[in-house]
């Protein structure tokens, strides 16, 4: 496992004590020596009359859509970037304060590793760094999420054969082919689980004039992978009538929901074919057997792997715990469990 530390960035990563994945849906924190210590929704609730923080994480998420006028539920991370640095700092401080105790909070933050989506803008990378500086970090190492996730999946990224990873999160999907520890070709599209959920909600609104409560969307995900049958299978769905505002139930056809979910996913399929088009033929040939590793929280969507298999004709494997692979990969880097020399990191 120990190799030659020829990559200075990896040497810097080994000095980090904390690894953070600030996602649009969830914030995950890995502490060296302790493992994953926090995995909470990236949500904060504030009292707008006083500016006081009322809740963070799961407690704040439960309040979404149910708040009185003076409470605002905020999501400080969107589209793969921290969009409200001050709120992200307050949220992280509380999430970690709850887990570590206030006094231990400053120490682990001295050197932090943070993953950022592939191809993120300099301003987005800066925002991630500023967020960590506000928590007391003196140095921040940025790592491409695709590299962190590939390491977290246990892919043999340092080998001279191609591996392909698709990280499907809440707001973005990142696709890459890696070989010899580096990204050969990659693409990020602004489509993830949230876009799929919005497509389902919009379909119910257009086709049935029904407003779907947010907790009712996930049970409909299974329609993506439902076998196509000759008949028209239907499911009963409860919601609110768009016009009258009254509670109402409708029978929803599987095929309509499946079609709605597939529409945003065409961008993901296009990204996969685009990445393959930019790869040397030898690497593409490797992938015919190895296929695609699917990671990110949306990889848990039933039928997504099957849909991608059908659309690309390639084998698709879902990572173990696909939602946490990126932070686990970062964790492996700061623990020194990754072969040096071959991994590419972004250092600022
Ligand atoms: N069991 C599940 N079934 C279907 N979808 C799921 C499941 N679990 C999580 N998701 C979806 O996964 C997404 C969150 O994934 P993940 O935690 O990887 O996002 P993130 O890293 O916070 O987002 P991003 O990478 O876009 O910043 C959400 O859209 C959520 O609805």
7 — pLDDT class (breaks 50, 70, 90): very low
What's the confidence (pLDDT) of residue 69? 93
Which one of 189, 298, 304, 319 would you pick to mutate in the ligand 1 pocket, going by the greatest count of ligand atoms within 8 A of its CB?
298
Q: Which of 235, 259, 283 is the endpoint of a domain? A: 259
Give the model's pLDDT for residue 31. Answer: 93
Mean pLDDT of 45-58: 96
CA 184 to ligand 1 centroid distance, Å: 26
Residue 46 is predicted with a pLDDT of 97
Distance 298 CA to ligand 1 centre (A): 5
Domain of 169? 155-192+261-322
On whether both 37 and 127 belong to a single domain, the answer is yes
The answer, yes or no, to whether residue 5 has pLDDT greater than 50, is no
In the predicted model, is pLDDT for residue 330 greater than 60?
Answer: yes
Please check whether residues 139 and 163 belong to one and the same domain. Answer: no
pLDDT for the residue numbered 232 = 67
In this structure, are 77 and 98 located in the same domain?
yes
- Please tell me whether residues 218 and 341 are part of one structural domain: no
Give the pLDDT confidence of 293-312 residue by residue, as tens digits: 999 999 999 999 999 999 99
Query: For all residues of the chain together, what is the average pLDDT?
Result: 90
What CATH number does residue 297 fall under? 3.30.420.40
Tell me what pLDDT residue 103 has: 55
Q: Which of 94-98, 242-246, 331-335 comes out lowest in average pLDDT? A: 94-98
- Annotated binding residue at 131? no
More confident residue, 234 or 51: 51
Q: Residues near 109 by Cβ (< 8 Å), separated by ≥ 6?
A: 17, 18, 132, 135, 136, 137
User: Within this chain, do residues 130 and 205 fall inside the same structural domain, yes or no?
Assistant: no
What is the rounded distance in angstroms from the CA atom of residue 207 to the CA atom of residue 202? 8
Which pLDDT tens digit goes with each residue over 235-247? 899 999 999 999 9
Per residue in 214-233, pLDDT (tens digit) is: 888 999 998 888 776 666 67
- How would residue 130 be classed by pLDDT, with cut points 50, 70 and 90? very high
Is residue 174 pLDDT above 80, yes or no? Answer: yes
Distance between Cα 176 and ligand 1 center (Å):
19
Residue 8 confidence (pLDDT): 43
| Residue 264 beta carbon below 6 angstroms from any ligand 1 atom | no
Least confident of 21-25, 97-101, 188-192, 300-304: 97-101
User: Is 235 annotated among the ligand-binding residues?
Assistant: no
What gap in Å lies between CA 2 and CA 319, rounded to an integer? 25
Q: Is residue 254 part of a domain?
A: yes
Inside any domain, residue 248 = yes
Residue of 161 and 256 predicted with greater confidence: 256
Tell me if 222 is assigned to some domain. Answer: yes
pLDDT in tens, 98-109: 777 665 665 566
pLDDT, residue 182, reads 87
Query: Is the pLDDT at 4 greater than 50, yes or no?
Result: no
Neighbouring CB atoms inside 10 A of 55's CB total 18
What ipTM was assigned to the predicted interfaces of this complex?
A: 0.98
Q: Does 121 lie in the same domain as 99?
A: yes
Average pLDDT over residues 28-36: 94
| Spacing, Cα 211 to ligand 1 middle (Å) | 22
Overall average pLDDT of the 174-197 stretch: 94
CA of 7 to the centre of ligand 1 (A): 32
With respect to residue 2, please indicate whether it lies within any of the assigned structural domains: no
Residues 13 and 121 in one domain: yes
Q: How many CB atoms lie within 10 A of CB 219?
A: 10
Cβ contacts of 67 within 8 Å, gap of 6 or more:
45, 73
Tell whether 3 is covered by a domain: no
- Is 1 a member of any domain? no
Closest C-alpha to ligand 1, atom 3: 301
Scan for tokens 């790592």, then name that residue: 143
Q: Residue 94 carries which DSSP code?
A: H
Phi, psi angle pair for 322, to nearest 5°: -60, -25
pLDDT at 1: 41
Per-residue pLDDT, 301 = 96
Asked if residue 187 has its Cβ within 6 Å of ligand 1, the reply is: no
Tell me, yes or no, whether 128 and 211 share the same domain: no
Q: Are residues 96 and 12 in the same domain?
A: yes
Ligand 1 touching residue 40 (CB < 6 A): no
Q: What is the pLDDT of residue 346?
A: 52
Q: Is residue 127 a part of any domain in this protein? A: yes
Residues 254 and 265 in one domain: no
Any atom of ligand 1 within 6 Å of the Cβ of 18: no
pTM of the model: 0.92
Q: How many domains does the chain have?
A: 3
pLDDT band with cut points at 50, 70 and 90 for residue 156: confident
Q: Are residues 178 and 289 in the same domain?
A: yes
- Helix, strand and coil content of the chain, in percent to the nearest 5, comes to 40, 25, 30
Q: Which of 104-113, 181-190, 226-235 has the highest mean pLDDT?
A: 181-190
CATH assignment at residue 228: 3.90.640.10
What pLDDT does residue 345 have?
54
pLDDT for 3 equals 32
Which residue has its alpha carbon closest to ligand 1 atom 1?
300
Q: Are residues 164 and 248 in the same domain?
A: no
Spatial distance between the Cα atoms of 343 and 182, rounded to a whole number of angstroms? 6
């Amino acid at each position: 496992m120990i190799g030659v530390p020829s990559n200075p960035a990896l040497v810097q990563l080994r000095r980090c004590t904390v690894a953070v994945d600030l996602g649009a849906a969830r914030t995950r924190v890995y502490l060296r020596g302790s493992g994953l210590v926090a995995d909470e929704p990236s949500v904060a609730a504030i009292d707008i009359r006083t500016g006081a923080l009322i809740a963070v994480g799961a407690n704040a998420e439960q309040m979404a859509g149910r708040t009185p006028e003076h409470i605002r539920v905020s999501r400080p991370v969107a589209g793969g970037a921290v969009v409200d640095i001050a709120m992200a700092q307050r949220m992280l401080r509380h999430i970690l304060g709850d887990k570590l105790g206030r006094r231990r909070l400053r120490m682990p933050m001295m050197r932090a590793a943070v993953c950022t989506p592939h191809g993120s803008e300099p301003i987005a990378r800066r925002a991630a760094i500023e967020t960590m500086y506000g928590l007391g970090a003196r140095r921040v190492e940025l790592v491409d999420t695709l590299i962190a996730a590939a390491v977290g999946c246990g892919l043999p990224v340092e080998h001279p054969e191609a591996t392909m990873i698709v990280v499907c999160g809440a707001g973005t999907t990142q696709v890459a082919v890696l070989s010899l520890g580096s990204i050969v070709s990659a693409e990020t599209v602004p489509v993830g689980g949230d876009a799929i959920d919005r497509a389902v909600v919009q379909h119910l609104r257009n086709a049935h004039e029904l407003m779907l409560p947010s907790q009712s969307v996930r049970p409909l995900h299974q329609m993506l992978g439902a076998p196509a049958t000759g008949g028209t299978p239907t499911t009963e769905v409860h919601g609110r009538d768009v016009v009258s505002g009254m509670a109402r139930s409708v029978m929803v056809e599987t095929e309509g929901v499946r079609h709605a979910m597939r529409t945003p996913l065409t961008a993901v399929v296009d990204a996969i074919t685009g990445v393959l088009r930019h790869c040397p033929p030898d690497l593409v040939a490797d992938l015919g057997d190895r296929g695609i590793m699917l990671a990110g929280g949306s990889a848990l969507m039933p039928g997504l792997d099957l849909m991608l298999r059908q659309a690309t004709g390639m084998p698709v494997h879902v990572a173990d715990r696909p939602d946490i692979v990126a932070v686990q990969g970062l964790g492996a880097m700061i623990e020194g469990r990754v072969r040096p020399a071959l991994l590419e990191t972004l250092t600022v």
